[in-house]
Amino acid sequence: MSIALPSSEYITRSVATALEEDVATGDLTAQLIPADRTSKATVITREDATLCGRAWFDEVFRQIDTRVQIVWKAQDGDRVRANQLLCELTGPSRSLLTGERSALNFLQLLSGTATETSRYAEALKGTSCRVLDTRKTIPGLRLAQKYAVRCGGGTNHRIGLFDAILVKENHIAAAGSIAAAVAEARLVNSKVMLEVEVENLDELQQALAAKVDRILLDNFSNDDMKTAVSITRSHQNKGIELEASGNMSLETLREVAETGVDFISVGGLTKHVRALDLSMRFA
């Protein structure tokens, strides 16, 4: 699977930060091992998953010791099975031990994000709806988690506050109305996607009249979502996308998708991450 990675500079910075908090001035415990000793290690997954995070794993050992060699047996985005071999490592024993935790932290977190996303993407198969992530990410690792979502078959929403405009309830209240908020948004930047959050069908009509790019249906019932889809598809301002949001789960996802919305955004993809169970063992 070929999915664009974040920049190498971003990955380098992320790993450097992780090593600074874990290794800092040196790994005291690793010094128990003779400096000239070399080892071989393997990493396996203890559960079925979608793999993600190889570049961060590799970068950990690149920054610690370029003599460490890693041979991967699976690619980012691959479905892997419990007890499957993911990679083999050879190199100085001290360096393997020093990098173990930081490398696994990246791999298990990002694989956990990709795995959860893959479950949601699988639930939407056969519909025209796509699952979106949100800005509810681990601080400092947003681009990494957004990449993991793509590896899991999901679609990225805006990266941050700088690349799209999402007019929410508080923006509308401060501006005075949906029309006023949208007008001001177009003055701020008319080239990025403009989305408006609505809480009822009356606000939907206001957003449609404002000719925005996408409308977020916040906590709509399924019946109201069906009505919103019907209204939007027959409106004179055609082509406006609909996104559903609010308390979405795997159990409710399919039914929501079948209302006809274009997207379902799920904060839990990146917020409620359970790290993948991985194991690194020396031969």
Among the listed residues 245, 243, 248, the one whose alpha carbon sits nearest the alpha carbon of residue 212: 243
Mean pLDDT of the chain: 97
For residue 247, the model assigns a pLDDT of 85
For residue 238, the model assigns a pLDDT of 86
Residue 94, burial from CB neighbour count under 10 angstroms (0-12, 13-18, 19+):
buried
pLDDT level of residue 155 (50, 70, 90 thresholds):
very high
Q: Is the pLDDT of residue 211 over 90?
A: yes
Separation of alpha carbons 261 and 266, rounded Å: 14
* Backbone torsions φ then ψ of 81, nearest 5 degrees: -110, 155
| pLDDT, tens digit (0-9, with 9 covering 90-100), for 44-103 | 999 999 999 999 999 999 999 999 999 999 999 999 999 999 999 999 999 999 999 999
The structure's pTM equals 0.96
Q: Is the pLDDT of residue 1 over 90?
A: no
Q: Which residues are catalytic?
A: 101, 136, 168, 197, 218
Query: Which neighbouring-strand residues pair with 39?
Result: 91
Is there a contact between 172 and 218 (Cβ–Cβ < 8 Å)?
A: no
